[in-house]
Structure 1
Amino acid sequence: MTSSSNSSARFPRISNHGVPTRCWCGEGIITFGSSTAENKYRRFYRCQIARDRKTENHLFKWIDEALIDEIRMVEAKHERVAQEITKFEERVIEKVKSEIVRVEAEMSEKLKEKVNLEIARVAQDMKQKLKIATVAMVVVGAIVGIWTSISVIGWLSSEFDGFKIS
């Protein structure tokens, strides 16, 4: 059990996607140029151990293929980030909309309360003014009634001054 954990610590698992940085053996990667006829001067990644020991199976990757892999990984990551941004924007817009609805409802309720208080105040004010107007009309009516009575009595007494009842 300890040998496998030691071996995995010495030879970390290395991904073969994109541009490699280390071989599976843990050795750093170096670039070399091909000298074969079909790939003359084509560049590749390889560790120094693999270069010296051609019989061992170490990491080998063409640089152009590694760069294409890297570009595809960046494009995939870019697409994931763009999707996350879109989802985030949608969540933010939903939260803003719900907050607007909440604030509008709260403001509407407060406005209704203020309007109702103002209506009650105006109604109370109008009742008070109506009472004053009613009392004033009663007083004016009484004055008119008294004045009319006095005027009629005065007129009658002037009309019937010379008339005596026997």
Structure 2
Amino acid sequence: MTSSSTSSAHFPRISNHGEPTRCWCGEGITTFGSSTAENMYRRFYRCQIARDRKTENHLFKWIDEALIDKIWMVDAKHERVAQEITKFEERVMEKVKSEIVRVEAEMSEKLEEKVNLEIARVEQEMKQKLKIVTVAMVVVGEIVGIWTSLTV
């Protein structure tokens, strides 16, 4: 493709990447086939004005080079999108992790609160039963004391 560099060098005013749509003069682009021995039938972009006025510097680009440029541009864009997706995934994962930590802390706090309430309820219930057992033991002790005093 050294010939393309030579051919493209004839038109230094024009700098384009990918597939051109218009010439610098504003004219639309047409595709042509080369008739030179070096690039026989090789397709290229050119505006009609340049085709008619060979002495003027108008857009010229080989179609195969334009397609390769386009592929490189798409690859670069794909890489940028892939990097953005990776960054987005990392941000989402960080948010998910922090939300998990927050929910776990909230659940732990609520569980601890419920456990403490249940412990207080059981403690209160045990105190009530202990009072009843204590009263029952005192009553039984008094009955035993009365019974032993009567039988002796």
Aligned counterparts, 1:1-166, within 5 A: 16-152=16-152
Matched letter for residue 40 of structure 2: K
CA deviation map 1:14-64 (0-9, x unaligned): 961001111111111110011112111111001111111111111100001
Deviation at 1:121, TM superposition (A): 0.6
Instruction: Report the Cα distance in structure 1 between the residues aligned to 2:67 and 2:15, rounded to whole angstroms.
Output: 14
Percent sequence identity is 90
**Given residue 35 of structure 2, which amino acid in structure 1 is its aligned partner?**
S
SS of the equivalent of 1:19 reads coil
Distance 2:55 2:145 in 1: 135
Measure the CA separation in 2 of the matches of 1:19 and 1:139: 106
- Runs of 4+ aligned residues of structure 1 deviating over 4 Å after TM superposition are none
Q: What letter is aligned with 2:96?
A: V
* Aligned counterparts of 1:135 and 1:27: Cα–Cα separation in 2: 110
Q: Report the AA paired with residue 47 of structure 2.
A: C
The RMSD of aligned alpha carbons is: 1.1
- Quote the offset at 1:119 in angstroms: 0.4
> SS at 1:61's partner residue?
strand
Counterpart residue identity of residue 25, structure 1:
C
CA distance in structure 1 between the aligned counterparts of 2:34 and 2:109, rounded to whole angstroms = 79
Counterpart of 1:89, as a letter, is E
Question: How many residue pairs were aligned?
Answer: 139
- Structure whose CA Rg is larger: 1
TM-score (ref. length: structure 1): 0.81
Task: Tell me, in whole angstroms, the C-alpha distance in 2 between the residues paired with 1:60 and 1:98.
Answer: 56
